[in-house]
Protein backbone atom coordinates (compact mmCIF):
# COMPACT_ATOMS: atom_id res chain seq x y z
CA UNK A 1 0.00 0.00 0.00
CA UNK A 2 1.18 3.55 -0.76
CA UNK A 3 2.63 5.03 2.38
CA UNK A 4 4.38 8.17 3.51
CA UNK A 5 7.87 7.60 4.86
CA UNK A 6 10.91 9.45 6.12
CA UNK A 7 13.62 9.66 3.48
CA UNK A 8 17.06 9.61 5.09
CA UNK A 9 18.61 10.48 1.73
CA UNK A 10 16.48 13.61 1.49
CA UNK A 11 17.42 14.53 5.02
CA UNK A 12 21.02 14.46 3.85
CA UNK A 13 20.18 16.26 0.58
CA UNK A 14 21.29 13.23 -1.44
CA UNK A 15 17.94 12.68 -3.16
CA UNK A 16 17.93 15.87 -5.21
CA UNK A 17 21.69 15.77 -5.77
CA UNK A 18 21.36 12.28 -7.26
CA UNK A 19 19.34 13.85 -10.09
CA UNK A 20 21.69 15.53 -12.61
CA UNK A 21 19.09 18.26 -13.10
CA UNK A 22 19.75 19.61 -9.60
CA UNK A 23 23.35 18.54 -9.04
CA UNK A 24 24.72 22.06 -9.58
CA UNK A 25 22.42 23.82 -7.10
CA UNK A 26 23.95 25.55 -4.13
CA UNK A 27 23.72 23.62 -0.84
CA UNK A 28 21.25 26.12 0.64
CA UNK A 29 18.86 25.72 -2.28
CA UNK A 30 19.09 21.93 -2.17
CA UNK A 31 18.43 21.84 1.55
CA UNK A 32 15.41 24.13 1.19
CA UNK A 33 13.97 21.82 -1.46
CA UNK A 34 14.54 18.52 0.28
CA UNK A 35 13.02 19.85 3.50
CA UNK A 36 9.72 20.33 1.64
CA UNK A 37 9.59 17.14 -0.43
CA UNK A 38 6.88 14.56 0.15
CA UNK A 39 8.14 11.00 0.53
CA UNK A 40 6.09 7.96 -0.54
CA UNK A 41 6.62 4.21 -0.70
CA UNK A 42 4.94 1.75 -3.07
CA UNK A 43 4.94 -2.03 -3.24
CA UNK A 44 5.43 -3.95 -6.49
CA UNK A 45 2.39 -3.54 -8.73
CA UNK A 46 1.05 -0.44 -6.99
CA UNK A 47 0.17 2.62 -9.05
CA UNK A 48 2.18 5.79 -8.49
CA UNK A 49 -0.01 7.87 -10.79
CA UNK A 50 -2.86 6.80 -13.06
CA UNK A 51 -3.56 7.87 -16.62
CA UNK A 52 -5.94 10.83 -16.53
CA UNK A 53 -4.92 11.99 -13.04
CA UNK A 54 -3.64 15.45 -12.27
CA UNK A 55 0.11 15.34 -11.77
CA UNK A 56 1.26 15.47 -8.16
CA UNK A 57 4.49 17.20 -9.10
CA UNK A 58 8.07 16.41 -9.99
CA UNK A 59 8.75 12.85 -8.81
CA UNK A 60 12.18 11.32 -8.20
CA UNK A 61 12.50 7.52 -8.14
CA UNK A 62 14.81 7.36 -5.13
CA UNK A 63 14.90 3.55 -4.82
CA UNK A 64 13.38 0.80 -6.95
CA UNK A 65 12.01 1.22 -10.47
CA UNK A 66 8.74 1.84 -12.29
CA UNK A 67 7.21 1.61 -15.74
CA UNK A 68 5.09 4.15 -17.61
CA UNK A 69 2.44 2.70 -19.91
CA UNK A 70 -0.79 3.45 -21.71
CA UNK A 71 -3.73 1.12 -22.15
CA UNK A 72 -4.77 0.58 -25.76
CA UNK A 73 -8.37 0.44 -26.97
CA UNK A 74 -8.23 -3.37 -26.88
CA UNK A 75 -7.16 -3.33 -23.22
CA UNK A 76 -3.49 -4.15 -23.77
CA UNK A 77 -0.78 -2.05 -22.17
CA UNK A 78 1.94 -0.39 -24.20
CA UNK A 79 5.05 0.30 -22.14
CA UNK A 80 6.46 3.73 -22.92
CA UNK A 81 9.35 4.13 -20.52
CA UNK A 82 11.23 2.43 -17.69
CA UNK A 83 12.29 4.65 -14.78
CA UNK A 84 15.29 3.27 -12.84
CA UNK A 85 16.50 4.59 -9.48
CA UNK A 86 17.49 8.29 -9.58
CA UNK A 87 15.41 8.90 -12.69
CA UNK A 88 12.38 11.17 -12.55
CA UNK A 89 9.08 11.98 -14.23
CA UNK A 90 6.60 14.85 -14.17
CA UNK A 91 8.84 17.72 -15.29
CA UNK A 92 6.53 18.57 -18.18
CA UNK A 93 3.54 18.93 -15.85
CA UNK A 94 5.27 21.62 -13.82
CA UNK A 95 4.50 24.06 -16.64
CA UNK A 96 1.02 22.91 -17.71
CA UNK A 97 -2.36 21.91 -16.30
CA UNK A 98 -2.71 18.84 -18.53
CA UNK A 99 -3.55 15.49 -17.07
CA UNK A 100 -1.03 12.66 -17.01
CA UNK A 101 -1.32 10.70 -20.30
CA UNK A 102 0.12 7.47 -18.89
CA UNK A 103 0.06 5.23 -15.83
CA UNK A 104 3.18 4.70 -13.70
CA UNK A 105 3.41 1.37 -11.86
CA UNK A 106 6.06 0.15 -9.42
CA UNK A 107 8.09 -2.78 -10.77
CA UNK A 108 9.41 -3.54 -7.27
CA UNK A 109 9.31 -1.91 -3.86
CA UNK A 110 9.82 1.71 -4.80
CA UNK A 111 10.45 4.88 -2.80
CA UNK A 112 9.79 8.27 -4.36
CA UNK A 113 10.28 11.91 -3.42
CA UNK A 114 7.78 14.45 -4.77
CA UNK A 115 8.23 18.17 -5.28
CA UNK A 116 4.98 20.10 -5.77
CA UNK A 117 4.36 22.71 -8.48
CA UNK A 118 4.29 25.49 -5.90
CA UNK A 119 7.63 24.42 -4.45
CA UNK A 120 9.12 24.16 -7.91
CA UNK A 121 7.86 27.61 -8.91
CA UNK A 122 9.58 29.04 -5.85
CA UNK A 123 12.81 27.31 -6.88
CA UNK A 124 12.69 28.82 -10.37
CA UNK A 125 12.15 32.31 -8.98
CA UNK A 126 15.38 32.08 -7.03
CA UNK A 127 17.41 29.89 -9.42
CA UNK A 128 16.43 30.69 -13.02
CA UNK A 129 19.30 28.58 -14.38
CA UNK A 130 17.38 25.48 -13.31
CA UNK A 131 14.68 26.30 -15.88
CA UNK A 132 17.23 26.14 -18.69
CA UNK A 133 18.53 22.83 -17.38
CA UNK A 134 15.01 21.43 -17.28
CA UNK A 135 14.27 22.55 -20.83
CA UNK A 136 17.47 20.88 -22.00
CA UNK A 137 16.71 17.69 -20.06
CA UNK A 138 13.16 17.55 -21.45
CA UNK A 139 14.46 18.07 -24.98
CA UNK A 140 16.97 15.25 -24.53
CA UNK A 141 14.26 12.94 -23.22
CA UNK A 142 11.94 13.80 -26.11
CA UNK A 143 14.78 13.10 -28.54
CA UNK A 144 15.37 9.74 -26.88
CA UNK A 145 11.69 8.83 -27.06
CA UNK A 146 11.48 9.89 -30.70
CA UNK A 147 14.51 7.74 -31.52
CA UNK A 148 12.91 4.82 -29.70
CA UNK A 149 9.67 5.22 -31.65
CA UNK A 150 11.58 5.34 -34.93
CA UNK A 151 13.46 2.24 -33.90
CA UNK A 152 10.24 0.34 -33.28
CA UNK A 153 9.05 1.03 -36.79
CA UNK A 154 12.28 0.98 -38.74
CA UNK A 155 14.65 -1.47 -37.12
CA UNK A 156 14.64 -5.22 -37.16
CA UNK A 157 14.27 -7.32 -34.03
CA UNK A 158 18.02 -7.89 -33.58
CA UNK A 159 18.76 -4.17 -33.47
CA UNK A 160 15.86 -3.43 -31.15
CA UNK A 161 16.98 -6.05 -28.64
CA UNK A 162 20.64 -5.02 -28.80
CA UNK A 163 19.68 -1.38 -28.26
CA UNK A 164 17.47 -2.30 -25.31
CA UNK A 165 20.24 -4.27 -23.59
CA UNK A 166 22.58 -1.29 -24.01
CA UNK A 167 19.87 1.03 -22.64
CA UNK A 168 19.61 -1.17 -19.53
CA UNK A 169 23.39 -1.53 -19.17
CA UNK A 170 23.94 1.37 -16.78
CA UNK A 171 20.85 1.31 -14.53
CA UNK A 172 20.51 -2.47 -14.27
CA UNK A 173 23.99 -3.81 -15.03
CA UNK A 174 26.54 -5.10 -12.52
CA UNK A 175 29.90 -6.74 -13.15
CA UNK A 176 30.27 -10.33 -12.00
CA UNK A 177 33.96 -11.03 -12.53
CA UNK A 178 34.87 -9.99 -16.08
CA UNK A 179 31.29 -10.03 -17.38
CA UNK A 180 28.54 -7.46 -17.19
CA UNK A 181 25.25 -8.97 -16.00
CA UNK A 182 21.99 -7.13 -16.64
CA UNK A 183 19.06 -7.93 -14.38
CA UNK A 184 16.05 -7.24 -16.56
CA UNK A 185 13.42 -5.01 -14.90
CA UNK A 186 10.55 -6.60 -16.84
CA UNK A 187 9.30 -10.08 -17.61
CA UNK A 188 9.86 -11.47 -21.10
CA UNK A 189 6.29 -10.51 -21.94
CA UNK A 190 6.86 -6.97 -20.64
CA UNK A 191 10.09 -6.63 -22.59
CA UNK A 192 8.38 -7.81 -25.76
CA UNK A 193 5.63 -5.26 -25.17
CA UNK A 194 8.22 -2.51 -24.66
CA UNK A 195 9.97 -3.48 -27.90
CA UNK A 196 6.84 -3.96 -29.96
CA UNK A 197 7.65 -7.62 -30.60
CA UNK A 198 5.86 -10.90 -30.08
CA UNK A 199 7.03 -12.69 -26.94
CA UNK A 200 8.02 -15.71 -29.04
CA UNK A 201 10.15 -13.50 -31.29
CA UNK A 202 11.97 -12.01 -28.31
CA UNK A 203 12.68 -15.42 -26.79
CA UNK A 204 13.89 -16.82 -30.10
CA UNK A 205 16.20 -13.86 -30.70
CA UNK A 206 17.70 -14.05 -27.21
CA UNK A 207 18.48 -17.72 -27.78
CA UNK A 208 20.01 -16.76 -31.14
CA UNK A 209 22.18 -14.14 -29.40
CA UNK A 210 23.31 -16.82 -26.95
CA UNK A 211 24.17 -19.27 -29.74
CA UNK A 212 26.19 -16.55 -31.49
CA UNK A 213 28.22 -15.87 -28.34
CA UNK A 214 26.87 -12.37 -27.70
CA UNK A 215 25.16 -13.14 -24.39
CA UNK A 216 24.48 -15.90 -21.90
CA UNK A 217 20.99 -16.26 -20.46
CA UNK A 218 21.05 -16.83 -16.70
CA UNK A 219 17.51 -17.83 -15.89
CA UNK A 220 14.63 -15.62 -17.03
CA UNK A 221 15.82 -12.32 -15.57
CA UNK A 222 19.60 -12.05 -16.04
CA UNK A 223 21.48 -11.54 -19.30
CA UNK A 224 25.27 -11.89 -19.12
CA UNK A 225 27.00 -9.85 -21.82
CA UNK A 226 29.81 -11.89 -23.38
CA UNK A 227 30.74 -9.61 -26.30
CA UNK A 228 29.85 -5.98 -25.61
CA UNK A 229 31.70 -4.67 -28.67
CA UNK A 230 29.68 -6.82 -31.06
CA UNK A 231 26.47 -5.90 -29.25
CA UNK A 232 27.23 -2.19 -29.70
CA UNK A 233 28.00 -2.80 -33.37
CA UNK A 234 24.73 -4.65 -33.83
CA UNK A 235 22.75 -1.79 -32.24
CA UNK A 236 23.94 0.72 -34.86
CA UNK A 237 23.82 -1.46 -37.94
CA UNK A 238 21.69 -0.22 -40.84
CA UNK A 239 19.07 -2.58 -42.28
- CA nearest neighbour of 34 among 65, 4, 7, 63: 7
pLDDT tens per residue across span 193-202: 988 889 999 9
Contact 83, 66 (CB under 8 A): yes
CATH 2.60.120.10 matches 13-150: yes
**Residue 94 confidence class, pLDDT cut points 50, 70, 90:** confident
pTM: predicted TM-score of the whole model, two decimal places: 0.78
pLDDT tens per residue across span 211-235: 999 999 999 899 999 999 999 998 8
Q: What is the helix (H) or strand (E) element at residue 17, kind and residue range? A: helix 14-17
**Residue 154 confidence class, pLDDT cut points 50, 70, 90:** very low
pLDDT in the model for residue 48: 95
Ranges in the chain annotated CATH 2.60.120.10: 13-150
| CATH code for the domain defined by 157-234 | 1.10.10.10
CA distances (Å), 63 to each of 31, 150, 192, 209, in order? 20, 30, 25, 31
- CA nearest neighbour of 51 among 95, 107, 88, 93: 93
Amino acid sequence: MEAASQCQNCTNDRCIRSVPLFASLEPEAVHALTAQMEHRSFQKGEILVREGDLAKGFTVIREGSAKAYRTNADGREQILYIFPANDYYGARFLFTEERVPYTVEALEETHVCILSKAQFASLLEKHSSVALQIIEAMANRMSRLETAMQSMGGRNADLRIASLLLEFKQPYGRYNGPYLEITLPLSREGLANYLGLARETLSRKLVQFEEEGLVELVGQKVVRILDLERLVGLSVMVD
